[in-house]
């Protein structure tokens, strides 16, 4: 299934975003350098921002020496990226891709992560990701200076790739089938298979 967000009503875009962007998700961000080298890195400061226009946000903080991470450097050079959501079966590969590699060395190749071409942008997506959002850079907002200062990256969603296997009988993403992981404190993670329902008041 492929969704064209430019053709969706804001309410429909909102429905898709809130049913796939679950609490404390991980943005596994794929980018490409001006020289065509792919990069893949996870970020846990990640959230949907608005459905009109459909926009995501993730935050790569500066390295300990105050320099920008490879992801930010790539987006500044090629203003496109893919936000890949991380299922439990991808947890080990996602964690491996957090390793510090020399600039220009691809995590896809280093850790044997299968890539798939995107529809509208240059960076590849993670082939096995249950959901992948192709995004065009909206803006980068700098907050702070030096080590751990924030580069708040906003991206306009152009296309969403949703694996049919994660859809429920109603045609919408099912949290249990998505089986996304999220960050907790320290080295702990959680999964979306444990959940409960509450009826919202009017």
Neighbours of 95 (CB within 10 A): 16
Tens of pLDDT along 131-154?
999 999 999 999 988 878 889 999
Residue pointed to by tokens 């992560």? 113
Adjacent-strand bridge partners of 142? 151
Average pLDDT in the 14-31 region? 77
User: What pLDDT is attached to residue 14?
Assistant: 60
pLDDT band for 64, please (50, 70, 90 cuts). Answer: confident
Q: Residue ranges of the domains in the chain?
A: 2-183
User: What pLDDT is attached to residue 78?
Assistant: 98
Please say if the pLDDT value at position 130 is more than 80.
Answer: yes
User: What pLDDT is attached to residue 144?
Assistant: 87
Greater model confidence, 16 or 94: 94
- CATH architecture of the domain with residue range 2-183: Roll (2.30)
Closest to 46 (Cα-Cα) out of 143, 150, 126: 150
pTM: 0.89
**Alpha carbon distance 48, 69 (integer Å):** 22
Please say if the pLDDT value at position 185 is more than 90.
Answer: no
Closest to 38 (Cα-Cα) out of 105, 138, 95, 101: 105
DSSP 176: H
Greater model confidence, 2 or 21: 2
């Amino acid at each position: 299934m492929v969704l064209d967000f430019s053709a969706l009503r804001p309410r429909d875009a909102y429905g898709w975003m809130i049913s796939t962007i679950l609490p404390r998700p991980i943005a596994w961000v794929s980018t490409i350098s001006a020289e065509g080298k792919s990069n893949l890195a996870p970020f846990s400061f990640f959230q949907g921002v608005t459905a009109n226009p459909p926009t995501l946000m993730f935050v790569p903080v500066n390295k300990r020496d105050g320099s920008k991470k490879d992801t930010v450097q790539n987006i500044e050079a090629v203003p496109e990226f893919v936000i890949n959501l991380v299922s439990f079966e991808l947890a080990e590969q996602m964690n491996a891709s957090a390793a510090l590699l020399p600039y220009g060395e691809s995590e896809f190749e280093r850790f044997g992560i299968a890539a798939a071409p995107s529809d509208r942008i240059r960076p590849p997506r993670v082939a096995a990701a249950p959901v992948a959002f192709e995004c065009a850079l909206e803006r980068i907002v700098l907050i702070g200076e030096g080590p751990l200062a924030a580069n708040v990256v906003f991206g306009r969603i152009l296309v969403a790739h949703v694996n049919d296997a994660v859809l429920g009988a109603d045609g919408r993403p099912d949290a249990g089938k998505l089986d996304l992981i999220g960050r907790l404190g320290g080295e702990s993670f959680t999964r979306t298979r444990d959940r409960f329902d509450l009826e919202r008041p009017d």
